[in-house]
Structure 1
Amino acid sequence: MSSFTDEVVSSILRSTGALASVEGDLCHYTNVVQCENTLYALTIDVPSDAQAGSKLVNNSIPIPVLPGQDVVFVSSIIINDPSSKIEDKVEHLLKYNFYLLQNLTINATGVTGTLADNVVPFSFLTTLVVHGKLTGTIPNRYQNLQYLDLYGNQIKTFDAKNFDFLQNVNLSHNIVDSLIVFWGTQGTPKLYTHVDISDNLLTTLPSEVNTPQLEFLNVSRNSIVGTLPKGLFTSTLTTVDASHNQLSGDLPDVSGATALSHFNLSNNGYSTGTEKVLSRSTLSVFDVSNNALSGSIGSIASDVLTTFDVHQNSFTGAVPESLAAQTFLRYLDLSDNAELGGTLVLNGTALPTAETVNVSHTAIQVNITDEYLRTSAVRQLSAVGATVVFTGAAEGAALPGTLPDSLQTLDLTDAGLTGTLPVEWGTNARHLQSVKLTGNNITGCVPRGWTDVAALREAYEELNTTGTFELCPSDDGGGREAKKGLGDGAIAGIAVGAVAALVLLVLLIVLMVYCCKRRKKKKGTAEGIETAATTHVRRTNPLTEGCSTGEGESSCDTSTDISSESEYSVPV
């Protein structure tokens, strides 16, 4: 190793905060330096306690002027900065002559600048990874790359004319609006196997492409118009994601993509062509949600589907019967296709691995058996506005007594249910996180056990926003007729109370009349006695009655005139 090499490597170790000091043989620092013959390989994990504003390297190291003496003998530089301590321009590192460098990986969001083109080419550099804030383009200095990953920068253009060895390209989450000679030409194919240019500013793709080895393509979240060129769909292509663009017309011709597994063209403006894609027997993921697709969904050739998402379209006709037979399907969303009808039968063999089943806002009838409820792995079941029939529910019941242990979310709003609520859910449905039942013909009272389970209590409270639902007196069943308004028991209680009050009122009136008459009678008797005493008894003062006084004489009548004793008798 040259002294200049040691000086640059030591500076990288100190500047990044990997080592506080460096002395002697660099090969002794085995945690960050690997010595391979005459080359160093650096693997640096910037510590969280490193100084903020750390650098990639000392930018002021003098560069030897003699040819060959300026080479830095390093085969690999890997710098990971999870705590974002480094703040530096990448040019400060790349100005040195890393002629023999094979791998440059910098995961540091504080690294800015551009990929310099004014230094000798990287003849051996095959891997370039920079997750920072680089701007500009990718110069020809890096034309021997096989693996290019500039995720999350601000790269704007890329002229790939001289990049003949590129196999894996990740320019996602940049501001790329121009790709020049990127997709190959008639006589010059590109050897890409993986291309990810998602989350950029692309508006078009060429009508002719030549990427015969392409396996993975992601151009999602751009502003691409038109449709995808047929040349992309070669026999090697397994995954295509062109979602969230402005593509329209007929879905692309995938007849040449005999190994196609993942197909995601959701959130575009396509109108027809599902049958061409669904004819692929290798299809695992089919997502054309939120388009303008109409007509019948068509038959499904694949029996290895894991995702089938066609929500937010205008499909008509009957739901394909083969969907229920998909043994690997985990995600099924048919929602928001108002005229999509038919019957989806969920029995003991249907959709055994499905975790999400959504038929909301369709004309589909879903027949759900008890066997399905016992064996299903479903976690989210939604049928808002559809028709749901639980074939094993008890007579007069709207819902079954048992649910899958896996079920967390159940939305049966406006699902055509009629009948009572199951008391069993208060004990065997505690795994539920959300239940919605409004818009149905729920009869009977609400089992008291529902108030002990948060999701069921919320469902009960939501039901009460559309009417008055009474809690059952005890959890012996929810079948008593007490749907809305006052229950029979409450009405009977009010009636008995009213009768009792009326009887008491009558008794009170009778008692008051009796008392008044008795008091009046006593008063009359007393008045009669007083009158009689005044009329028939004349008391005289024997000293004054019948006496006259004259001068010198007096004359007194001392007699008492009392009627016969038989005419007057006053009890004393």
Structure 2
Amino acid sequence: MAARAAQRPGVFLLLAAVLLAVAVQPAAATLHPVDYLALQAVRRALSDLPGSGFFASWDFTGDPCGFDGVSCSGGGRVVTLALGDPRAGAPGLSGAFPSAALARLSALSSLSLVPGRVSGGLSSAVAALPSLRFLALSGNLISGNLPGAFSPALRTVDLSKNSFSGRIPSSLLQIRSLRTLVLSHNSLSGEIPKTVSSPLVHLDLRNNRLSGGVPPLPATVVYLSLAGNRLSGRVGGVLRRLTRLSFLDLGGNWFSGEVPGEVFSFRIGYLQLRKNAFSGELRPAGWLPSGSTVDLSHNALSGLVPAELASAAAVYLNGNKFAGAVPAEIVAAAEGGRMRVLFLQDNFLTGISVRGVPSSAAIYGRNIVRGTRVRWIWFVSMSAIAIYIEKLGAKKCWALCYVISNEMTTDLLLNGSNCYEVHLVLTPPYLL
């Protein structure tokens, strides 16, 4: 009898352990055991940065399908994993990217990670998950080469603002479902793969170390940014077929040849070709959309300034070889307030017709000035004007005047011989 009594505490402990296990098990019962263990491994690998409370809901005594950032299918598999607080400006996460754990989430269709300080590499086992359609890991410290294999189901890939290096895998640009590819702000090198068969709409490869030419791109592209690389060659043949473009940024490369006139007939709202080696005359095939921005500065473009640019809201032509007079259409657009920014300095322009102002008095920035100094500038509604001034025998310089509003009239006084920026509130005429 005493022996039985002595055994009872052990029985009670065993019963208590069973009851505790049952109490904890509902989470595993609603979620596939493999996914349950994978989420635990993710939690061990990552931590909230100071000020972030993302993992506060990750209490494994409850159902992980109710955790912040986790969505499950009816079959108890994780299909969406959004790691980190998605609110703008919220702190992200830190730790090592849990590739091994994530690779076990075989039903995952969407994986995202908010900007933070997560490091490590991205494995093919994660990138090639068979159901993965959305992959976004922007703004972290993930490094190494891009994976050699990707899911054939991917529609969006955003790996921007990390530390990836090496070449862009050719397989990535051959995914039949891929619409958006953002690899900007990394250290990728080499050439863009020669074959781009993905039906891309948005392609952003800016601020890398890519070299060589631009391969033929699908006509589906609407947004294209290749700025800040080491790309070279002619792009006319590539651009002519991209008739759906609304955003084009090729700035800061070594592109050469003529700018295809067809580009100006597209419904393009932002055209940025600055700091290249484009040359020849501009022959727009049409007028840019009203309110657009065009920046062709710091090239070797020559000939007359095209009147077709008058429909734009901001025009930067500085640092080229344009000659002749500024078209009356552009002057009228500036005077009427439709064109808010006009930069023409560092060209060979010889005249501009502004109401009530002699043409010799309104030539901009290191152009050919007939007269001793610029005395009047009469642009009513422009928000920025690049002005060149030759001050009565003093050194030549140019000032950038921001016209903020039309609330007062004053003189713009230029004292001394230094070149500087001027920030004033003015109404026309601007007496220099």
The two structures have a TM-score, normalised by structure 2, of 0.70
Distance across 2 between alignment mates of 1:241 and 1:78: 30
Whether the 8 Å CA contact 1:214–1:236 is kept in 2: the answer is yes
Pairwise mapping of residues 71-470 of structure 1 onto structure 2 (< 5 A)?
Answer: 73-80=77-84, 83=91, 85-94=93-102, 96-118=103-125, 121-131=128-138, 132=140, 133-153=142-162, 154-161=164-171, 162-179=174-191, 181=193, 183-184=195-196, 189-206=197-214, 209-233=216-240, 234-252=242-260, 254=262, 258-276=266-284, 279-282=286-289, 284-297=292-305, 299-301=306-308, 303-326=310-333, 327-337=337-347, 339-345=348-354, 359-363=364-368, 376-385=380-389, 406=405, 436-437=414-415
Aligned length: 354
Task: Among all aligned residue pairs of Structure 1 and Structure 2, give the percentage whose two residues are the same amino acid.
Answer: 19
Q: Deviations over 1:69-113 (max 9, x none)?
A: xxxx2111112375455121342443x322221111113443233
1:26 aligns with 2:63: yes
Pairwise mapping of residues 410-559 of structure 1 onto structure 2 (< 5 A)?
Answer: 436-437=414-415
Q: Which residue of 1 aligns with 2:28?
A: none
Structure-2 change in CA distance of 1:164 and 1:129 (3 Å): same
Q: Which has the larger radius of gyration?
A: 1
Whether the 8 Å CA contact 1:219–1:242 is kept in 2: the answer is yes
Distance across 1 between alignment mates of 2:403 and 2:127: 65
Structure-2 change in CA distance of 1:190 and 1:23 (3 Å): closer
Structure-2 change in CA distance of 1:232 and 1:98 (3 Å): farther
Whether the 8 Å CA contact 1:248–1:271 is kept in 2: the answer is yes
SS in 2 for 1:322: helix
Q: Which residue of 1 aligns with 2:428?
A: none
Structure-2 change in CA distance of 1:172 and 1:201 (3 Å): same
Distance across 1 between alignment mates of 2:381 and 2:169: 49
The two structures have a TM-score, normalised by structure 1, of 0.54
Distance across 1 between alignment mates of 2:281 and 2:213: 20
Distance across 2 between alignment mates of 1:195 and 1:183: 14
Distance across 1 between alignment mates of 2:57 and 2:148: 35
Distance across 1 between alignment mates of 2:205 and 2:81: 25
- Cα drift, residue 319 of structure 1: 1.0
> Can you give the 5+ residue segments of structure 2 that lack an aligned partner in the other structure?
1-30, 49-54, 357-361, 392-401, 425-432
Higher fraction of strand = 2
- Cα drift, residue 405 of structure 1: 6.5
Q: Which residue of 2 aligns with 1:16?
A: 47
Q: Which residue of 2 aligns with 1:566?
A: none
Whether the 8 Å CA contact 2:271–2:295 is kept in 1: the answer is yes
Q: Deviations over 1:454-509 (max 9, x none)?
A: 989xxxxxxxxxxxxxxxxxxxxxxxxxxxxxxxxxxxxxxxxxxxxxxxxxxxxx
Distance across 2 between alignment mates of 1:33 and 1:225: 44
Q: Deviations over 1:145-203 (max 9, x none)?
A: 1111111222322223441221111111112223564553xxxx431111111111122
Distance across 2 between alignment mates of 1:119 and 1:105: 12
Distance across 1 between alignment mates of 2:159 and 2:146: 11
Q: CA RMSD in A?
A: 3.8
Deviates more, 1:308-317 or 1:260-269: 260-269
The higher-RCO structure (CA 8 Å, 6+ apart) is 2
Structure-2 change in CA distance of 1:76 and 1:182 (3 Å): farther
Deviates more, 1:104-113 or 1:140-149: 104-113
Distance across 2 between alignment mates of 1:118 and 1:31: 24
Q: Which amino acid aligns with 1:336?
A: D
Q: Which amino acid aligns with 2:338?
A: F
Whether the 8 Å CA contact 1:104–1:127 is kept in 2: the answer is yes
- Cα drift, residue 37 of structure 1: 3.3
- Cα drift, residue 8 of structure 1: 3.1
Q: Which amino acid aligns with 1:148?
A: V
> Can you give the 5+ residue segments of structure 1 that lack an aligned partner in the other structure?
40-72, 348-356, 388-402, 409-424, 440-453, 457-572
Q: Which residue of 2 aligns with 1:3?
A: 33
Q: Which amino acid aligns with 1:406?
A: S
Structure-2 change in CA distance of 1:294 and 1:120 (3 Å): closer
Structure-2 change in CA distance of 1:280 and 1:386 (3 Å): farther
Q: Which amino acid aligns with 1:116?
A: S
Structure-2 change in CA distance of 1:9 and 1:211 (3 Å): same
Whether the 8 Å CA contact 1:230–1:253 is kept in 2: the answer is no
Distance across 2 between alignment mates of 1:293 and 1:75: 53
Whether the 8 Å CA contact 1:294–1:316 is kept in 2: the answer is yes
Whether the 8 Å CA contact 2:165–2:187 is kept in 1: the answer is yes
SS in 2 for 1:275: coil
Structure-2 change in CA distance of 1:6 and 1:255 (3 Å): closer
Whether the 8 Å CA contact 1:13–1:19 is kept in 2: the answer is no
Whether the 8 Å CA contact 1:358–1:381 is kept in 2: the answer is no
